[in-house]
Amino acid sequence: MRELLRTNDMVLVSAVGALLDGANIHHLLLDTNMSIVEGSLGVIPRRILVHDDDNLAARQLLVDAGLGYELRDNE
């Protein structure tokens, strides 16, 4: 799994999830239940991960959608 992006912006998380779903790229959203720990303040960023095999396609999808600046480094 590769981390695609990390953000506190739930609108962005939703938009990226919809883009990935539309392209049939399976993804995993992590840290969604951390609001229990943080008190629903939204200070802990949510992370979207994709499988290694889908990493390049997912990155290109976000670049094409104008969201390339949100991508994490491709380690």
Residue 15 scores a pLDDT above 90 = yes
Q: DSSP string of the chain? A: -EEEEEES-HHHHHHHHHHHHHTT--EEEESGGGHHHHTS---SPEEEEE-GGGHHHHHHHHHHTT-GGGBPP--
**Topology of the domain comprising 2-70:** Alpha-Beta Plaits (3.30.70)
- Tens of pLDDT, residues 27-64: 999 987 765 565 556 678 899 999 999 999 999 999 99
What's the predicted TM-score (pTM) here?
A: 0.84
Contact (Cβ atoms closer than 8 angstroms) between residue 18 and residue 63: no
Residue 4 scores a pLDDT above 80 = yes
> Cβ–Cβ contacts within 10 Å for residue 70, how many?
18
pLDDT tier at 70 (50, 70, 90 boundaries)? very high
Give the pLDDT score at 37: 60
